[in-house]
Structure 1
Amino acid sequence: MTIQRLSSDVSSKIAAGEVIERPASVARELIDNALDSGATNIRIVIEDGGKTLIDVGDDGAGIAPAQLPLAIERHSTSKLSSVDDLTHIQTLGFRGEALASIVAVAELSLRSVNAQGEAGLEIQTRGNSLVHQRPVGGARGTRAIVRGLFRTLPARLEFLRANRTESNHVANTVTRAALAHPDVSFELRDNERIRIQTPGTGNLRDALTSIYGIKLVDDLIELPPGQTLGIDGFISQPHLHRPSRSEISFFVNGRWVTDRLLSAAVSDAYRSMVPSGRFPIIVLRLSLPPEEVDVNVHPAKAEIRFRQSSEVFRQVSATLRRALSSTRKTTPAVFDKPVIDQFFFPNTNVDWRQTAPMPTRTFSTEPIKTSSREHSQTLGSSPISKNPEMRALGQVDQTYIVAISADGLYLIDQHAAHERVLYEQFESISSEATQQLLDPLTIVLSAEESEWVSAHKAALQKLGLMISLFGPDSWLIRSVPLAIGRRDAAEYLRQVIAEALSPEFRRLEATEQAHWSMACRAAIKSGDKLSTEEMDQLIEKLQACDLGLTCPHGRPTIVLMTRTMLDKQFGRI
Structure 2
Amino acid sequence: MTNIIKLLPSNISNQIAAGEVIQRPASVVKELIENAIDAKATHIQLIVKDAGKTLIQITDNGTGMNEEDALISFERHATSKVKTSQDLFQIKTMGFRGEALASIAAIAHVEMKTKQENDELGNLIEMEGNECKSKHHISCEKGTSIAVKNLFYNVPARRNFLKSDTVENNHILNEFLNTALIHNDIAFTYYNNDKLIHKLEKQNIKKRIIDLFGKSFNERLLPIEEEMNSIKISGFIVKAEYAKKNKSEQFFFVNKRFMRNHYLANSIDRAYQGLIPEKTYPAFFISIEIDPESIDVNIHPTKTEIKFLDDKVLYALLHAATKRSLGQFTLAAQLDFNTDKSFEITPIREGQMINTPQTNFDPNFNPFDNNTQSQEGINIKSSFDDSSNWANMSAKGLDNNNQLPFKKEKLGYGSSINIYSVEENLSQNQNYSDKHPEVIQVQNKYIITKTKNSILVINQERASQRILFEKFSNSQYDDISCQQLLFPYNHFFSPSHTSLLLELLSEIRKYGFMIEYQKEGSFNITGVPNNLSSEDAQIVLENLLYEINENNEIAAPKHYKVALSMSKRLCIKEGQILRPEDMLGIVGQLFSSQNCETTPWGKKILHKIEVESIDNIFE
Which residue, out of 279, 285, 307, partners 2:309? Answer: 307
Return the alpha-carbon distance in structure 1 between the equivalents of residues 167 and 268 of structure 2. Answer: 28
Query: Aligned AA for 2:105?
Result: V
What per-residue deviation string (whole Å, max 9, x for no partner) do you get for residues 234-256 of structure 1? 11111112222111111000100
Return the alpha-carbon distance in structure 2 between the equivalents of residues 128 and 65 of structure 1. Answer: 17
Return the alpha-carbon distance in structure 1 between the equivalents of residues 254 and 94 of structure 2. Answer: 11
What per-residue deviation string (whole Å, max 9, x for no partner) do you get for residues 183-202 of structure 1? 1011110001111221112x
Return the alpha-carbon distance in structure 1 between the equivalents of residues 129 and 192 of structure 2. Answer: 27
Pick closer, same or farther for the CA change 1:570–1:57 going to 2, 3 Å: closer
Percent identity for Structure 1 against Structure 2: 33
Partner of 2:205: 204
Q: Say which SS state the counterpart of residue 233 (structure 1) adopts.
A: strand
Of structures 1 and 2, the larger Rg is shown by: 2
The offset of 1:329, in angstroms, is 6.2
Unaligned runs of 5+ in 2: 343-525, 535-619
Indicate conservation of the 8 Å contact 1:227/1:319, yes or no.
no
Partner of 1:232: 234
Return the alpha-carbon distance in structure 2 between the equivalents of residues 138 and 128 of structure 1. Answer: 24
Which residue, out of 91, 107, 110, partners 2:109? Answer: 107
Indicate conservation of the 8 Å contact 2:226/2:321, yes or no.
no
Which residue, out of 81, 84, 95, partners 2:83? Answer: 81
- 1:307-386 residue pairs with structure 2 within 5 A? 307-328=309-330, 348=334
Partner of 1:297: 299
Does 2:220 match 1:219? yes
Indicate conservation of the 8 Å contact 2:271/2:323, yes or no.
yes
Partner of 1:508: none
Pick closer, same or farther for the CA change 1:294–1:50 going to 2, 3 Å: same
Work out which structure has the larger RCO, using CA pairs closer than 8 Å and 6 or more positions apart in sequence.
1
Query: Aligned AA for 1:209?
Result: I
Q: Say which SS state the counterpart of residue 32 (structure 1) adopts.
A: helix
Return the alpha-carbon distance in structure 1 between the equivalents of residues 292 and 331 of structure 2. Answer: 36
Q: How many residues align?
A: 347
Unaligned runs of 5+ in 1: 331-346, 357-564
Return the alpha-carbon distance in structure 2 between the equivalents of residues 302 and 570 of structure 1. Answer: 43
Indicate conservation of the 8 Å contact 1:174/1:186, yes or no.
no
Pick closer, same or farther for the CA change 1:571–1:301 going to 2, 3 Å: closer
Partner of 2:422: none
What per-residue deviation string (whole Å, max 9, x for no partner) do you get for residues 133-183 of structure 1? 111223211000000111111110111111111111111111111111101
Indicate conservation of the 8 Å contact 1:171/1:196, yes or no.
no
The offset of 1:216, in angstroms, is 1.9
Query: Aligned AA for 1:77?
Result: T
Return the alpha-carbon distance in structure 1 between the equivalents of residues 529 and 17 of structure 2. Answer: 58
What per-residue deviation string (whole Å, max 9, x for no partner) do you get for residues 416-438 of structure 1? xxxxxxxxxxxxxxxxxxxxxxx
Query: Aligned AA for 1:208?
Result: I
Return the alpha-carbon distance in structure 2 between the equivalents of residues 262 and 131 of structure 1. Answer: 48
- 1:434-453 residue pairs with structure 2 within 5 A? none
Q: Say which SS state the counterpart of residue 273 (structure 1) adopts.
A: coil
Indicate conservation of the 8 Å contact 2:113/2:140, yes or no.
no
Indicate conservation of the 8 Å contact 1:44/1:56, yes or no.
yes
Q: Say which SS state the counterpart of residue 210 (structure 1) adopts.
A: helix
The offset of 1:41, in angstroms, is 0.4
The offset of 1:62, in angstroms, is 0.9
Indicate conservation of the 8 Å contact 1:19/1:25, yes or no.
yes
What per-residue deviation string (whole Å, max 9, x for no partner) do you get for residues 313-350 of structure 1? 111111111111212269xxxxxxxxxxxxxxxx9499
Query: Aligned AA for 2:214?
Result: G
Pick closer, same or farther for the CA change 1:116–1:215 going to 2, 3 Å: farther
- 1:19-34 residue pairs with structure 2 within 5 A? 19-34=21-36
Query: Aligned AA for 2:218?
Result: V
Partner of 2:174: 172
The offset of 1:5, in angstroms, is 3.7
What per-residue deviation string (whole Å, max 9, x for no partner) do you get for residues 203-236 of structure 1? 0011111111221232111224767722111111
Which residue, out of 142, 145, 154, partners 1:143? Answer: 145
Q: Say which SS state the counterpart of residue 280 (structure 1) adopts.
A: coil
Q: Say which SS state the counterpart of residue 18 (structure 1) adopts.
A: helix
What per-residue deviation string (whole Å, max 9, x for no partner) do you get for residues 431-469 of structure 1? xxxxxxxxxxxxxxxxxxxxxxxxxxxxxxxxxxxxxxx
> Once superposed, what is the RMSD of the aligned Cα atoms?
3.0
